[in-house]
Amino acid sequence: MIKPILKTILIVILCISTFLAKAQIGYDYAQYDIGFGVGLNSPVSTDVSNSLKKTPSAHFSFNYNQSPFLNYVFEGQFGRLKAGDQSSASGRQFENHFSAFALKVQLQAGELIDYSQSPVANAFKNLYLSSGVGYLVNHVVLKTPDKRVPEGSTLPGDNNSQIPFIPVRIGYEFKVFNQYNEPSFKIDLGYQYNFVMDDNLDGYSTGAHKDVFSQLTLGVKFALGGVTSYRKQIHY
């Protein structure tokens, strides 16, 4: 009598365990990522207004994922900015070798919408907006004098400056899943505006507005571990 009862209890436990294990498929994700990427930089608003040139940058990031669609990002990068033409009326030209560090919050659409019933919503779930605060270290290695300024005079500006900035970014994160339907790595395509809280990005401090530069970036992020579960199925 006791053996059949124990056997029944064991079967019930196994069935429940199997059901719970299946229920978790598609819900797990890694809480930490490490990322690397490259970008193309363009001055948008500086005191050198013509002949904008695209220049390269490289970046790395460490990400804490509160959910698959809500991420806290620490990012470091270094690169160049360049603009101007000596044949222009002013003759102004600059090249800045910069490094930058930023803390950002990244919110993806999947955190806010139900993507389980619509292929269109599912496609848009990885679209994100992010913003935060950053610190920019400028080193202007090339700055030509203004032709319109009398000889012997110099324009105000600082070739070496450390400036806070506000990054605002829109992008899309292509998640690639492993055999357990967990995001194992991500391909990130983004466009970022950097609002610099000063007028020394180009080494000239003569304009009425603070400087701005933009970045088109492509990166990859790899899951590190700390696997936990999400309230919704991630992969559809």
Share of the chain above pLDDT 70, in %: 83
Share of the chain above pLDDT 90, in %: 63
pLDDT in tens, 139-168: 999 887 776 666 666 677 788 999 999 999
Domain boundaries, the chain: 30-228
pLDDT in tens, 19-74: 444 444 558 999 999 999 999 999 998 888 766 679 999 999 999 999 999 999 99
8-12, 17-21, 203-207: which range is least confident on average? 17-21
- Contact predicate 198/140, CB 8 Å: no
Considering the domain 30-228 in this protein, what is its CATH number? 2.40.160.20
Non-local (6+) Cβ contacts of 12 within 8 A are none
| Residue 217 Cα to chain centre, angstroms | 8
Quick one: which of 208, 209, 213 has its CA closest to 195? 213
- Contact predicate 205/16, CB 8 Å: no
pLDDT in tens, 175-198: 999 998 999 999 999 999 999 998
- Contact predicate 55/82, CB 8 Å: yes
pLDDT of residue 114: 94
pLDDT in tens, 117-136: 999 999 999 999 999 999 99
pLDDT of residue 190: 98
CA distance 75 to 59: 7
Region for 167 from its dihedrals, namely left if φ exceeds 0, alpha if ψ lies in -120 to 50, beta otherwise: beta
Positive/negative CA dihedral, 190, 191, 195, 201: positive
CA distance 175 to 188: 9
pTM recorded for the entire structure: 0.83
- Contact predicate 182/225, CB 8 Å: no
Q: What is the mean pLDDT of the chain?
A: 86
